[in-house]
């Protein structure tokens, strides 16, 4: 069994990401002892953005959201997700 290197201490997540992107983790960890983990309560990372919409469009979105009984911001995310999926995965 080879001797494992000590994982350094990092001052920031950015420094840690940089380190692991250039390092071979097998020099620091014995993956044969690893166990599968599940994290059922994790939510996808989100980023807050500012989006300017014409008032009439926002009002229409709110009307549709009200008909579907969903918050209007959730409806915007649903519509955007559907459209992006359609653009990235066009049907044959």
Question: Has residue 71 got a pLDDT over 60?
Answer: yes
| 77 contacts 70 by C-beta, under 8 angstroms | no
Question: Has residue 82 got a pLDDT over 60?
Answer: yes
Other CB atoms closer than 10 Å to residue 50's CB: what's the count? 4
pTM of the predicted structure, to 2 decimals? 0.53
| 72 contacts 65 by C-beta, under 8 angstroms | yes
Q: What gap in Å lies between CA 16 and CA 29, rounded to an integer?
A: 15
Q: What percent of the chain has pLDDT over 90?
A: 77
pLDDT band at 1 (very low <50, low <70, confident <90, very high): low
- List, in order of start, the domains of the chain with CATH numbers: 1-31 (no CATH), 44-92 (1.10.1220)
Question: Has residue 92 got a pLDDT over 70?
Answer: no
Q: What gap in Å lies between CA 61 and CA 53, rounded to an integer?
A: 10
Question: Has residue 6 got a pLDDT over 70?
Answer: yes
Identify the sign of the CA torsion 9, 15, 17, 22. negative
């Amino acid at each position: 069994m080879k001797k494992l290197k000590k994982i350094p201490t990092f001052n920031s997540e950015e420094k840690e990401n940089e380190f692991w992107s250039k390092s071979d983790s097998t020099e620091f960890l014995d993956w044969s002892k690893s166990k599968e983990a599940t994290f059922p309560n994790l939510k996808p990372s989100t980023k807050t953005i500012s989006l300017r919409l014409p008032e009439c469009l926002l009002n229409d979105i709110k009307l549709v959201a009200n008909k579907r009984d969903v918050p209007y911001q959730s409806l915007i995310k649903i519509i955007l997700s559907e459209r992006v999926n359609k653009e990235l995965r066009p049907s044959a």
